[in-house]
Amino acid sequence: MSFSTYLAADLGASSGRVVAGHFDGSQIRLDEVHRFENGPVRVGDRLHWDILRQWVSIQDGLRAASTRFAGQIQSVGVDTWGVDFGLIGPGNELLGNPVHYRDARTSGILERAFQIVPREEIFAETGLQFMEFNTAFQLLAMRLAGSPQLDVAESLLMMPDLFHWFLTGIRSNELTNSSTTHLYNPKTGTWSDRLIERLGFPLGIFGTITEPGTKLGPLAAHVASDTHLSGVDVVLPGSHDTASAVLAVPAASQPSATPNWCYISSGTWSLMGVEAPAPVVTDPCLAMNFTNEGGVGGTTRLLKNIAGLWLVQECRRVWQQQGHRYSWDDLVRMAAAAKPLAGCIDPDDPRLLAPDDMPATIATLCRESGFAEPNSHGQIIRIALESLAMRYRQVLEMLEELIGGRLETIHIVGGGSQNQLLSQMTADATGRRVLTGPVEATAIGNVMMQALAAGEVGSIAEAREVIRRSFDVIEYTPHATNRWDTMAGA
């Protein structure tokens, strides 16, 4: 059987990989070709991404793929997280390592921004959730600190745009990642020149916004030579990882003003929302601090960012430093054996963004909320997971208010969908049917957008049909919901 192979370079906050997607016209199959570590690097008082190491790792993955799948590879595309960026100066020089979104330079920046442009005006222009690490506020922090980079920059490229530039030599601003900057107007589909000028940024660094599915160009000659890939195009996927993950949600219904399903893209972050046909830039949306980000196929991702399994990841890291070598399965077993609903915290408390000691911070927040401090590692993890499930319940209720209808099904995709305990907690807390999978949603969405660009798939709906045929889902039904109602004060 003949098939086409598409390569997805998928970078997350803690790891990255190059994945090969093989499509035979009916089903898609994934092969992980290369996996590598990712994470912040502290230099002085600044937290950076090590972009050159990331680039070397991507090339290693492309080289490995060319060896395994010679002659089959059609194209490659890169997706990453949002908000972070690099600036390109004269002579095609990258002006420093991109700064990590958890860096402290934007602490307190929202108040400074609102002194320049009121909160309501910023939201009217962008429809975006206010988070102090969004691109606009990183740039404002740079300007207020007198950074010389903005004076000489020619282009601003988001993280996946940087890698697409490395691959081709072509600068682009892909739509879905551009929409996370707090400088994009979702109603016009263009940069908000008015907001850019009000905040004092140079207009010239913002290039033409390019749709996902665009064939950017062939691999640059030196990249093709170094990776042994010839005749391979670079295609823009939904380069924001959540945009690719949402494409991979195996739902049958089409985008609607009143959808009946929502998604949680679950990993380090939990991105919970609906796929809407148009942005929802309203006073209630502002009050609830939801975001309107660009999706694939002209859709809008109406969603809220929630601090996801970062809480568990950081607990595990701290305990490893103390000599406790817990596996992920160990943590889930310990949590399952702990007392249910013994405490609840706000997972989006700013103190959880980058604490030195996550377990101690969770214990402090429990005490401040009137609960007993957790007395075991398993209890800490259970409280973290139950707090996420309770937060999903709150966000679900807000989503239903914004769209004016009931959401019957919650699709959980991404790595976090493997956490069966959290999935059941989510069903119990929300009283909704939960469907989990596919696990590799971001890579799948990346690959399927490339197949769309190649004409092997005719539409987003057809792509989702392929995904439903190719991957299993697990269903969770709610039970013991009354205990969650009591916790929520319902």
Identify whether residues 272 and 231 lie together within a single domain: no
Q: CB under 8 Å to 360, separation ≥6 — which residues? A: none
Kindly tell me if the per-residue pLDDT of 361 is higher than 80.
Answer: yes
Confidence at residue 489, expressed as pLDDT on a 0 to 100 scale: 76
How many Cβ atoms are within 10 Å of 406's Cβ, its own excluded?
10
Q: How confident is the model at residue 2 (pLDDT cuts 50, 70, 90)?
A: confident
Pairing of strands 269-276, 300-307: antiparallel
- Average confidence (pLDDT) over 15-29: 97
Q: What are the tens digits of pLDDT across the range 320-333?
A: 999 999 999 999 99
Identify whether residues 253 and 215 lie together within a single domain: no
Is 453 part of any domain? Answer: no
For residues 252 and 349, the model is more confident at 349
Identify whether residues 190 and 273 lie together within a single domain: no
- Average confidence (pLDDT) over 403-429: 96
Report the distance separating Cα 168 and Cα 181, nearest Å: 23
Kindly tell me if the per-residue pLDDT of 470 is higher than 60.
Answer: yes
Kindly tell me if the per-residue pLDDT of 214 is higher than 90.
Answer: yes
Q: Furthest-apart CA pair in the chain: how many Å?
A: 63
Helix residue ranges per DSSP H, 199-272: 221-227, 241-247
* Domain assignment of residue 286, given as a range: 249-439+458-490
Asked whether 460 and 317 are in contact (CB, 8 A), the reply is: no
Report the distance separating Cα 345 and Cα 108, nearest Å: 23
Place of tokens 């000599």: 323
Q: CB under 8 Å to 318, separation ≥6 — which residues? A: 357, 358, 359
Closest CA to 269 of 459, 101, 403, 17: 101
Is 242 part of any domain? Answer: no
Is 35 part of any domain? Answer: yes
Identify whether residues 56 and 85 lie together within a single domain: yes
Domain count, the chain: 2
Pairing of strands 4-11, 73-79: parallel
- Average confidence (pLDDT) over 116-124: 98
Identify whether residues 198 and 307 lie together within a single domain: no
Q: What are the tens digits of pLDDT across the range 278-335?
A: 999 999 999 999 999 999 999 999 999 998 999 999 999 999 999 999 999 999 999 9
Q: How confident is the model at residue 342 (pLDDT cuts 50, 70, 90)?
A: very high
Is 113 part of any domain? Answer: yes
Per annotation, catalytic residue among 241, 283, 348, 472: 241
Is 450 part of any domain? Answer: no
Identify whether residues 340 and 482 lie together within a single domain: yes
Identify whether residues 255 and 206 lie together within a single domain: no
CATH number of the domain enclosing 140: 3.30.420.40
Identify whether residues 18 and 91 lie together within a single domain: yes
Report the distance separating Cα 16 and Cα 10, nearest Å: 6
Instruction: Point out the domain boundary residue: 235, 257, 274.
Output: 235
- Average confidence (pLDDT) over 407-424: 97
Query: How much of the chain, in percent, has pLDDT values that exceed 90?
Result: 94
Peptide bond into 438 cis (omega under 30): yes
DSSP string, 330-397: HHHHHHHHSPTTS----TT-GGGSS-S-HHHHHHHHHHHTTPPPP-SHHHHHHHHHHHHHHHHHHHHH
Confidence at residue 439, expressed as pLDDT on a 0 to 100 scale: 96
Place of tokens 């950074």: 147
Asked whether 5 and 74 are in contact (CB, 8 A), the reply is: yes
Identify whether residues 172 and 93 lie together within a single domain: yes
94, two tokens: 């990258």
DSSP category for residue 100: P
Identify whether residues 155 and 285 lie together within a single domain: no
Told to judge if 472 belongs to the known catalytic residues of this protein, a careful annotator would answer no
Asked whether 271 and 265 are in contact (CB, 8 A), the reply is: yes
Is 14 part of any domain? Answer: yes
Report the distance separating Cα 352 and Cα 300, nearest Å: 28
- Average confidence (pLDDT) over 151-161: 98
Q: How confident is the model at residue 256 (pLDDT cuts 50, 70, 90)?
A: confident
Mean pLDDT of the chain: 96
Identify whether residues 203 and 285 lie together within a single domain: no
Kindly tell me if the per-residue pLDDT of 240 is higher than 70.
Answer: yes
Kindly tell me if the per-residue pLDDT of 490 is higher than 50.
Answer: no
Does the predicted TM-score (pTM) go above 0.75?
Answer: yes
Is 36 part of any domain? Answer: yes
Is 241 part of any domain? Answer: no
Confidence at residue 1, expressed as pLDDT on a 0 to 100 scale: 58
2, two tokens: 């003949």
Instruction: Point out the domain boundary residue: 180, 207, 235.
Output: 235
Asked whether 389 and 349 are in contact (CB, 8 A), the reply is: no
Asked whether 240 and 128 are in contact (CB, 8 A), the reply is: no
- Average confidence (pLDDT) over 373-384: 97
Closest CA to 134 of 162, 102, 165, 157: 102
Kindly tell me if the per-residue pLDDT of 238 is higher than 50.
Answer: yes
Instruction: Point out the domain boundary residue: 177, 209, 235.
Output: 235
Identify whether residues 272 and 407 lie together within a single domain: yes
